[in-house]
Amino acid sequence: MPTPLLDGLRALVGSDHVLSGVELSPYVVDGRTPEAAVFPGTVDEVAAVVARAAEAAVPVIPWGGGTAASVGGPPARAGVVLGLGRLRAVVEHEPGDLTVTAQAGLTLSDLQAALRARGQWLSLDPPDAERATLGGVLATNASGPRRQLYGTARDLLIGATVVTADGSIVRGGGRVVKNVAGYDLPKLFIGSYGTLGVIVEATLKLRPVPDDERLVAVRFERLKDAGSAVRALLGSDLIPNAIDLLDASAAAALGIDGAPAALVVGFDGLGEQVDWQVAQLASVVGPGGGERVTPLAPAAWSTLPRAAHDALGTPAAVMTLSVLPTVVAELMEQGASSARQRGLASAWSAHAGVGLVTAAVRAEGDRQDPAALAAVLAEWRSAARAGGGHASLARAPLAVKTVLPVWDDAGPAGRIMQRIKAELDPHNVLNPGRFVAGI
Amino acid sequence: MSSMPPPRKAALRHELETIVGGGGVLSDPEELLVYESDGLTLFRALADFVVFPRSVEDVAAVVKLANREQLPFVARGAGTGLSGGCLPAEGGLVLSLMRMNRVLEVDYDNQVAVVEPGLVNLHLSWAVGPRGYYYAPDPSSQQACTIGGNIANNSGGPHTLKYGVTVNHVLGLEVVMPDGEIVWLGGRTRDALGYDLTGIFVGSEGTFGIATKIVVRIMKKPQAVKTVLAVFDQVDHASAAVSSIIARGLVPAAVEMIDQLTIQAVEDAFGCGYPRDAAAALLIELDGLAAGMEAQAARIVAACRDAGAREVRAAADEAERQLLWKGRKSAFGAYGRVSPAYMVMDGVIPRTKLPYVLGRVNEIAVAHGLRVGNVFHAGDGNLHPNILYDPRKPGEEARVVAAGAEIMKVCADVGGSISGEHGIGLEKADFMPFIFSAADLAFMQKVKAAFNPAGLCNPGKVFPTKKSCGEAGPVAYRPHAIETQGLAQRF
């Protein structure tokens, strides 16, 4: 890195808040070490850092907790990691308004703790809440089991402040729960992986903490039967807040041993509402082969989204597949079988009611064969497409990323995405080369 | 309206007819009059042509023709909009999508439906109702407004408090882009790949292109519904009750407020059972499981009583529930009983600011010598002050417009928004700087340029405009055809 830029960054945020050299090892992505990592303390400093980097034509890589750093194409150039960790204030929480405004670097668990102290919560439960930051969760559109009932960031984010590619500060949306003034810019930043702007502050809708919440497991002899049970559940009067489908190894990772398949179902609300639903569950899923409705410990909520991942210890690759809910079980069976045929172990879990599937894969022994891995992942992607959906890599070795595109093909819509990127970041400053459609 | 030379107009008419068929093109000024405004009759503008495509191919061909001829174009649904959003502000073409009104597919297992843009909102709920499903967004004009129009405006309704607005129910769109290309944004899966193009398209007020197929979520009808009426002797107490309900950890499906002037108009017109002497009433609806419904209702009753309600009662049966909702949904029509005309405002404020803002709204109306009635989505903080006036009195309309601007400023100043569901359109384009900086607006303009670089698709909307923009502008009030025919009510 040219010293003038490094000196300039140090002058902007203070030397203590700029890392270089060996201090950069936590920020290495796909083998590439950034030039520096900068941690601004204010929104204005974020803007100044982006402006300075843009001026020097050095890429800016927004960084929250680093929990999703493995997602995306390999970086083509080294850039400056822009860490948001010092921006962690709850700016405004008025319980009567059921909204919160907070800075991007606040971890999700800290935000939830602050909200719970006043009887409310943000109904978004992605994995790694202790490390994942609010900005990162939004930028990666991370979600968890409760999205079955409460949706995703697009249903909760009502306002966002971002620093744009030229270092201006732009606000979209607002602080009120209903707002159609102007374009809904917050939607554009959700899941944009920092390629259109650096999220520095966000306003979100909240919910009251429910009186009661319970998670239960139901065992099945076959995945297919569990899939049919999901359909029965969705068509019933029950209003589950989570419907996760696990294969045998993911179920075992959650402590549900010896079940070829398991359905994990959550309910919340008043005590009597939860009681009634748990009692009804057996009669809804029983006829399809569901057995032994068993309560799970509350801790299972946080391990549930990681079940497929944890089942394999350290998976070689993880894929996220988005399909129609009705094809989830079949996709899981088919995908596991294609991995087995190539001598690979796989583990599967799904937010089955919304069709979001996570699959992890690794070799049975120590030998990792990137070609076999890539072939299996490509087959999974084809299966997702056949199910009306798409699939992208959440994590894979560089050797796989170089032969298999990280992101699925966005088709003609990809051209619109490229045009948006070109308008908003014409010099390709923000996280270049890591996103969909080559963005 | 452009002054198009007759020979060119005749040639274009012929060409449009070859695309959409004979009987699918209007170009006589008398016929075009019906399309000169939407529900906000304050603004009027005449198109050169109104065309009625039947397919995506028709729409694409018309749009390509418009591009070739450099004619501005705008899509139109039922015309129930309230901000002038579908007006041909700069002349050119109106594409009426009313002939594209089919439910193309319903996939109950995956809880999605694919519909055309001209489908009337309520007709979708009718179509899926027999199987126990419904489409949740319920704008008060849902008997007339179209789902395509709902997409343009990201429409809300009373039940958005619990279920969200239109965008929360839309998964994918087939779109004719402003250059005529047909592209799918999103699809049928819950998570789209890449940027949320569907999410940004919804609410873009027709400036990003024309949606020709819409994939929406349909929902299971709730097992149970309970509707509670709370009556207050002071507006402040009703406002406080809204916050109190929320603070007690309850999220009703709807919390609507109706003030005294409106109650009296509704009772004169329809007799729905609201007490005429009440300062304000809250209509609160709970839905969901039958289990726990009574316990939740008890919490609502307690919250209202603690806030000072003089009477709280649940609708005894479905007939009474329907009657109470009729009063709420017909309120705008009822203003006709007490005033020759009224103008509906649409602003949003943080819920906790309700008492202050309602007070300010009243002060502003009084200062301008006007009366104001309030009927609105209190649970969302989405105000609808309705300023009553007599358009025949010189200068009164100008005072209404001035008062409206002041009310919008108050909403903006307490951290709110200048529109919760009616959109910016022509009406509020010049108010955008109340809540957005020059940088914010410039950023939005860049997004628009990515979709609509030539600017022919619904020009002159959303952004503050130079005053030279077309002929559209406030004119003296005349009831529009859709009002006089009773096809639509304002809300």
Q: What is the pLDDT of residue B408?
A: 96
pLDDT band of residue A342 (cuts 50, 70, 90) is very high
Please check whether residue A285 is in contact with residue A263, taking contact to mean a CB–CB distance below 8 angstroms: yes
pLDDT digits (tens, 9 = 90+) for B17-69: 999 998 999 999 999 999 999 988 888 999 999 999 999 999 999 999 999 99
pLDDT value at A203 more than 90? yes
Count of other CB atoms within 10 angstroms of residue B26: 22
Eight-class DSSP state of B469? S
Mention every residue, 6+ apart, whose C-beta is less than 8 A from residue A346.
Answer: A312, A335, A336, A339, A340, A359, A360, A361, A376
Q: What is the pLDDT of residue A1?
A: 54
Long-range contacts of B262-268 (CB under 8 A, 24+ apart): B262/B331, B262/B334, B262/B335, B262/B373, B262/B374, B262/B375, B262/B386, B263/B327, B264/B338, B265/B331, B265/B334, B265/B335, B265/B337, B265/B338, B265/B373, B266/B327, B266/B330, B266/B331, B266/B334, B267/B327, B268/B334, B268/B337, B268/B338
CA distance A382 to A122: 35
Count of other CB atoms within 10 angstroms of residue B103: 16
Q: What is the mean pLDDT of residues A14-35?
A: 95
Q: What is the pLDDT of residue A292?
A: 87
Lowest mean per-residue pLDDT among A16-30, B225-239, B331-345: B331-345
Q: What is the mean pLDDT of residues A228-251?
A: 97
Mention every residue, 6+ apart, whose C-beta is less than 8 A from residue A26.
Answer: A66
Counting every residue written for chain A, the total comes to 439
CA distance B165 to A97: 18
- Element (H or E) spanning A345, and its range? strand A344-351
What is the percent of chain B with per-residue pLDDT over 90, rounded to a whole number?
Answer: 84
CA distance A9 to chain B (A): 24
Instruction: Tell whether A196 is within 8 A of chain B (Cβ).
Output: yes
Eight-class DSSP state of B221? P
Instruction: Tell whether A386 is within 8 A of chain B (Cβ).
Output: no
- Element (H or E) spanning A385, and its range? helix A370-386
Eight-class DSSP state of A438? G
Q: What is the pLDDT of residue B332?
A: 84
Eight-class DSSP state of A397? -
b/e A38-67 (16+ beta carbons within 10 angstroms → b): bbbeebebbbbbbbbbbebebbbbbbbbbb
Q: Do B436 and A269 touch (CB under 8 A)?
A: no
Lowest mean per-residue pLDDT among A133-147, A260-274, B139-153, B463-477: B463-477
pLDDT value at A47 more than 80? yes
In order, the DSSP letters of A292-326 are EEEEE-TTHHHHGGGHHHHHTSS-SEEEEEE--GG
Q: What is the pLDDT of residue B488?
A: 42
pLDDT band of residue A369 (cuts 50, 70, 90) is confident
Q: What is the mean pLDDT of residues B394-403?
A: 93
Helix locations, B270-372, DSSP H: 293-306, 318-329, 331-334, 354-367
Which chain B residues are within 8 Å of A408, Cβ to Cβ? 193
Q: Do B197 and A436 touch (CB under 8 A)?
A: no
Please check whether residue B272 is in contact with residue B331, taking contact to mean a CB–CB distance below 8 angstroms: no
A107-126 residues touching B, CB cutoff 8 A: 119
CA distance A125 to A150: 10
A124-163 residues touching B, CB cutoff 8 A: 141, 151-152, 154-155
Q: What is the mean pLDDT of residues A110-129?
A: 97
Mention every residue, 6+ apart, whose C-beta is less than 8 A from residue A341.
Answer: none
pLDDT digits (tens, 9 = 90+) for A389-425: 999 999 999 999 999 999 999 999 999 999 999 999 9
Question: How is residue B177 written in tokens?
Answer: 């882009």
Instruction: Tell whether A47 is within 8 A of chain B (Cβ).
Output: no
Q: What is the mean pLDDT of residues B411-438?
A: 96
CA distance A266 to B259: 41
pLDDT band of residue B475 (cuts 50, 70, 90) is low
Q: In terms of Cα–Cα distance, which of B126, B155, B330 is closest to B221?
A: B126
DSSP E strands: which ranges in B357-418? 371-376, 382-383, 385-389
Alpha-carbon distances, residue A252 vs A98, A246, A259, A349, A387 (angstroms): 38, 9, 8, 12, 27
Mention every residue, 6+ apart, whose C-beta is less than 8 A from residue B27.
Answer: B9, B13, B48, B49, B50
Q: What is the pLDDT of residue B246?
A: 83
Q: What is the mean pLDDT of residues B225-239?
A: 95
Please check whether residue A197 is in contact with residue A168, taking contact to mean a CB–CB distance below 8 angstroms: no
Give the CA radius of gyration of chain B: 22
The partner residue sitting opposite B289, judged by closest CB among A239, A389, A435, is A239
Q: In terms of Cα–Cα distance, which of B262, B173, B238 is closest to B210?
A: B173
What value does the mean pLDDT of chain A take? Answer: 96
pLDDT band of residue B485 (cuts 50, 70, 90) is very low
Q: Is the pTM of this model over 0.80?
A: yes
In order, the DSSP letters of B118-145 are TSBHHHHHHHHGGGTEE-----TTTTT-
pLDDT value at A214 more than 90? yes
The residue among A179, A276, A322 with the most chain B CBs within 10 A of its CB, best to mutate, is A179
Q: What is the pLDDT of residue A336?
A: 97
- Say if the ipTM goes beyond 0.85: yes
Instruction: Tell whether A389 is within 8 A of chain B (Cβ).
Output: yes
Lowest mean per-residue pLDDT among A363-377, B402-416, B417-431: A363-377
Please check whether residue B75 is in contact with residue B176, taking contact to mean a CB–CB distance below 8 angstroms: no
pLDDT band of residue B466 (cuts 50, 70, 90) is low
What value does the mean pLDDT of chain B take? Answer: 92
The residue among B239, B414, B443, B457 with the most chain A CBs within 10 A of its CB, best to mutate, is B443
3-state secondary structure A81-104: EEECCCCCCEEEEEHHHCEEEEEC
CA distance A391 to A406: 9
The partner residue sitting opposite A176, judged by closest CB among B193, B381, B443, is B381
Q: In terms of Cα–Cα distance, which of B47, B51, B42 is closest to B19?
A: B51
Q: What is the pLDDT of residue B166?
A: 98
Mention every residue, 6+ apart, whose C-beta is less than 8 A from residue B318.
Answer: none
Q: Do B193 and A392 touch (CB under 8 A)?
A: yes
pLDDT value at A19 more than 60? yes
Question: How is residue A36 written in tokens?
Answer: 């520096």
Q: Which three-class secondary structure state does DSSP give residue A434?
A: coil
B313-332 residues touching A, CB cutoff 8 A: none
Angle at A359 between CA A358 and CA A364, to 5 degrees: 155
Tell me the CA end-to-end span of chain B in Å, nearest whole number: 29
Instruction: Tell whether B191 is within 8 A of chain A (Cβ).
Output: yes
What is the percent of chain A with per-residue pLDDT over 90, rounded to a whole number?
Answer: 93
B56-115 residues touching A, CB cutoff 8 A: 107-111
Longest CA pairwise span in chain A (Å): 71
pLDDT digits (tens, 9 = 90+) for B175-216: 999 999 999 999 999 999 999 999 999 999 999 999 999 999
Mention every residue, 6+ apart, whose C-beta is less than 8 A from residue B57.
Answer: none
The partner residue sitting opposite B289, judged by closest CB among A168, A170, A273, is A273
Q: Do A188 and B199 touch (CB under 8 A)?
A: yes
- Element (H or E) spanning B233, and its range? none
Q: What is the pLDDT of residue A263?
A: 97
Q: In terms of Cα–Cα distance, which of A427, A425, A426 is closest to A193?
A: A425
Q: What is the pLDDT of residue B208?
A: 98
pLDDT value at A157 more than 90? yes
